Chain A
Amino acid sequence: MKLKKIGMCLALVVVLFGTTLAQMKLNGAGATFPYVIYSKWFDVYSKQHGVEFNYQSIGSGGGIKQVTEGTVDFGASDAAMTEAQMTAVKDKQGSDILHIPTVMGAVVITYNLPAAGKDLKLTPNILAKIYLGQITKWNDDEITSINKGKSLPDQAILVAHRSDGSGTTNIFTDYLKKVSKTWAVNIGMGASVNWPVGLGGKGNEGVAGLVKQSEGAIGYVELAYAVKNGLSYALLQNKEGYFIEPTFESVSAAAAGAAKNMPEDLRVSITDASGKDSYPISGFTWLLIYKNMKDKSKAKEIANFLTWAMGEGQGYAKDLYYAPLPKEVVKMCQKKIASIVTE
């Protein structure tokens, strides 16, 4: 009787072990922004190809750390790695790290000013001044001069920003430092910065909540959040002088516009991109892939998955409120994917 029990337990263990072994499991960690679409991709792909993915959305910083420590098979980040970070990976893991853009996001400027209605126009200069605390009222001459059709009230501007470190802040401050010398010198860019003015909200939800509740508030959030919450967002003037509405098309156009000058390693910021349809605060989110993994079968699976993501995967982007990559960038990605060492 006892022998039978032991035998059954052993058989169960073997079966469970066997089934887990039979399926390839890939571990990844990193950015929270693309988590929604990565989840969808992993789900669809694993049903089609039987490969299992385990992704922990611990943040871009965490993704870079884990890729450096070699605890994951791939990482994800909204901010490109620095030279120093890439060298650290080369030293610790013996492999170069590739940045493969997967989808795009945009930072939209959302505001709560019923008197202004929709489609408030803002220029980069005005935006920077608001966040520097130099423009403090909605009826400031600079704002009213470009919004002639609107009657803006004499109300204080309540500035909202992120209190937690985030890729969204990274893209936003990257843009501000490009368009404002004062910002570049005094504040700089980063996942967290020393904000001159404003209240901090935790997460996109925090900022969106702050703006929704406080009349006269202005804040920056991911495009997805603005769309889902029905927030009014501003039309931002791009490099060519056009006031652009943040849509998936204008975000993809920013990448297409930047593609001509994109470095081959795809580690590029595409804020303030050229091109008359480009939305100025757009950015990539990348998957961080080891060029030379020790486990070649895993490398092959990752390469296959990435190829799928560049093709069928892009089709899921819009429904989940991400902007798909323009075809120019997809071509560059495919070249990069081909360079992954799979044999």
Chain B
Amino acid sequence: MPPVVVSQTTMKQKTTHIGDKVFKTTTMMFALFVFALVFLMGYEMVRGSELSLKQFGWKFLTTSKWDPVAEEYGALPVIFGTLVSSLLALLIALPLSIGVAIFLSELAPRWLERPVSFLVELLAAIPSIVYGLWGIFVLVPWLRTSVEPFLIKNAGFLPIFKGVPYGFGMLAAGIILAIMVLPIISSISRDVLRAIPNSQREAAFALGATKWETTKIVLSDGKSGLLGATLLGLGRAVGETMAVTMVIGNRPEISYSLLDPGYSMASVIANEFAEATSSLYTSALIEIALILFVVTIILNVIARLIVWSITKKFKTT
């Protein structure tokens, strides 16, 4: 009897073994497919920007003239615009998001935490163009009639608040981006803070710490995770197109004032690609896409590594 039973079990193992192999290879193919897709996109962009790379070289990143008629292209204003609008967005969104994350993970009662989490994440689901329309019809008029004149009158001695209250401009773009990245930073931060084991908090309470002091300890434990969340938010802000295009003023110029119009990398591509007929023009736009692609990948890779490290650190203890 025993030999028959053994052979039966080995037969069963053999048939499931092949199925397992197929399953493994198929899913591995899907994963590799995604990787190959990203690689292919990068390759095509490098190929497409060859003309521009040859013509302008590194000067492309340092000159400011964007002239489609004379065929001279310099990407500095759009790089500047993307960086400034994204950093401004982070400056506004970071305190708000960390605050929301702390509230949701430490302070909120159960019955409140779920609906608020849901609403915050809902902000991320709103399409970019809807934000753009809201920006044009609500935010910009408000900035033009209330906020910007106030800033000019009271803080106009600062170079960042000098200028004419257009409404459209870097400040509007920064505010809209801040609202768009807030859900990302706050939901990841909330998860990071939740990942910190309760033993930390209990230890702090046992030593007589107040709620605020405990929260500070938890925050310092999770600070690299919060940094990761911030970088992910920055990654989104850098690539955001429609909402920015509709309110930033679309002027390829570098200005130190937040009240002046600007331009971003994603906006220039969205605006000009369809009608860019000459090869050099198209190539210059593809080179800007390449710069944006590289920047976004780097930001996301760093962010992911940081977030993984923090959650791993606490899972092993």
With A187-B69, A194-B67 as contacts: A164 and B164 at CB distance below 8 Å: no
* Residues from chain A with Cβ under 8 Å of B68 in the complex: 165, 190-194
* Residues from chain B with Cβ under 8 Å of A214 in the complex: 144, 166-167
Alpha-carbon distance A334/B246, docked complex (angstroms): 43
B122 within 8 A of A: no
Asked if B249 contacts A59 (CB within 8 A), the reply is no
With A199-B249, A199-B251 as contacts: A193 and B271 at CB distance below 8 Å: no
Asked if A166 contacts B168 (CB within 8 A), the reply is no
* Residues from chain A with Cβ under 8 Å of B183 in the complex: none
Asked if A164 contacts B69 (CB within 8 A), the reply is no
A153 within 8 A of B: no
Asked if A213 contacts B140 (CB within 8 A), the reply is yes
With A64-B277, A190-B68, A202-B246 as contacts: A165 and B271 at CB distance below 8 Å: yes
Alpha-carbon distance A199/B246, docked complex (angstroms): 11
Asked if A198 contacts B246 (CB within 8 A), the reply is no
Across the interface, name the chain B residue whose C-beta is closest to A216. B164
Across the interface, name the chain B residue whose C-beta is closest to A170. B275
- One of A158, A192, A195, A210 near B275 (C-beta < 8 A): A192
With A158-B166, A165-B272, A213-B167 as contacts: A194 and B70 at CB distance below 8 Å: yes
- One of A156, A158, A163, A194 near B271 (C-beta < 8 A): A163
* Residues from chain B with Cβ under 8 Å of A200 in the complex: 249-251, 261, 271
A60 within 8 A of B: yes
Asked if A199 contacts B261 (CB within 8 A), the reply is yes
B156 within 8 A of A: no
Alpha-carbon distance A209/B250, docked complex (angstroms): 14
A298 within 8 A of B: no
Alpha-carbon distance A158/B249, docked complex (angstroms): 12
| Per-residue interface assignment for chain B, residues 145 to 184, with 1 indicating a CB less than 8 Å from any chain A CB and 0 otherwise | 0000000000000000000101110000000000000000
Q: Number of B residues whose C-beta is below 8 Å from A?
A: 29
* Residues from chain A with Cβ under 8 Å of B270 in the complex: 164
Nearest Cβ distance between residue B253 and chain A, in whole angstroms?
Answer: 10
Asked if A59 contacts B144 (CB within 8 A), the reply is no
A61 within 8 A of B: yes
| Per-residue interface assignment for chain B, residues 275 to 297, with 1 indicating a CB less than 8 Å from any chain A CB and 0 otherwise | 11100000000000000000000
* Residues from chain A with Cβ under 8 Å of B246 in the complex: 202, 206
Alpha-carbon distance A210/B168, docked complex (angstroms): 9
A189 within 8 A of B: yes
Asked if A193 contacts B67 (CB within 8 A), the reply is yes
Nearest Cβ distance between residue B251 and chain A, in whole angstroms?
Answer: 6
B267 within 8 A of A: yes
B103 within 8 A of A: no
Alpha-carbon distance A190/B272, docked complex (angstroms): 12
| Per-residue interface assignment for chain A, residues 159 to 199, with 1 indicating a CB less than 8 Å from any chain B CB and 0 otherwise | 00001111000000000000000000001111111110011
A201 within 8 A of B: yes
Across the interface, name the chain B residue whose C-beta is closest to A215. B144
B65 within 8 A of A: yes
Asked if B276 contacts A61 (CB within 8 A), the reply is yes
With A194-B69, A199-B168 as contacts: A62 and B274 at CB distance below 8 Å: yes
Asked if A60 contacts B275 (CB within 8 A), the reply is yes
| Per-residue interface assignment for chain A, residues 41 to 77, with 1 indicating a CB less than 8 Å from any chain B CB and 0 otherwise | 0000000000000000011111011000000000000
Asked if A156 contacts B164 (CB within 8 A), the reply is yes
Across the interface, name the chain B residue whose C-beta is closest to A64. B277
Alpha-carbon distance A187/B69, docked complex (angstroms): 7
Nearest Cβ distance between residue A206 and chain B, in whole angstroms?
Answer: 7
With A198-B251, A202-B250 as contacts: A190 and B274 at CB distance below 8 Å: no
B66 within 8 A of A: yes
Asked if A213 contacts B141 (CB within 8 A), the reply is yes
Alpha-carbon distance A58/B65, docked complex (angstroms): 27
With A189-B69, A194-B70 as contacts: A199 and B277 at CB distance below 8 Å: no
Nearest Cβ distance between residue B134 and chain A, in whole angstroms?
Answer: 13
B300 within 8 A of A: no
With A163-B250, A199-B250, A200-B249 as contacts: A193 and B69 at CB distance below 8 Å: yes
B136 within 8 A of A: yes
- One of A58, A190, A201, A213 near B69 (C-beta < 8 A): A190
Assuming A193-B69, A199-B249, what are 11 further A-B pairs, CB within 8 angstroms? Answer: A59-B275, A164-B271, A165-B274, A165-B275, A188-B69, A191-B68, A194-B70, A198-B251, A200-B250, A201-B250, A214-B166
List, sorted by A's number, 24 A–B pairs whose CB atoms are closer than 8 Å.
A61-B275, A61-B276, A62-B274, A158-B164, A163-B245, A163-B250, A163-B271, A164-B270, A164-B272, A164-B275, A165-B274, A188-B69, A191-B68, A191-B275, A192-B275, A193-B68, A194-B252, A199-B166, A200-B250, A201-B250, A202-B250, A209-B136, A210-B168, A213-B144
